Amino acid sequence: MTDKKAYPLRIGAEVLTAMQRWADDDLRSVNAQIEYVLRDALRKAGRLKSPEADPAAKRKV
């Protein structure tokens, strides 16, 4: 299991509402959706190892 750290996030109401709708569509919490989107962006930018190398990244959060 990976270590999780709490981090306060200030986010605009419009972005939060859009994330909530997206999270609902994917049956995730908003927190899990934000983490999913961040991981995906980091992976695409080459700043995070691939999901094949990280079993925790494979599971649907």
**Largest Cα–Cα separation, the chain:** 35
Residue type, 8: P
28: domain range? 13-58
User: For the chain, how many structural domains are there in total?
Assistant: 1
What pLDDT was estimated at residue 49?
A: 83
What pLDDT was estimated at residue 22?
A: 98
Is there a domain that residue 23 lies in?
yes
Is there a domain that residue 6 lies in?
no
pLDDT tens for 44-60 read: 999 998 766 555 555 65
Q: List, as one string, the DSSP characters of 24-38.
A: HHTT--HHHHHHHHH
Is there a domain that residue 36 lies in?
yes
Residue 57's CB: how many other CB atoms inside 10 A?
Answer: 19
Is there a domain that residue 8 lies in?
no
Is there a domain that residue 5 lies in?
no
Is there a domain that residue 31 lies in?
yes
What pLDDT was estimated at residue 2?
A: 73
pLDDT tens for 16-45 read: 999 999 999 999 999 999 999 999 999 999
Is there a domain that residue 2 lies in?
no
> Which comes out higher in pLDDT, residue 61 or 7?
7
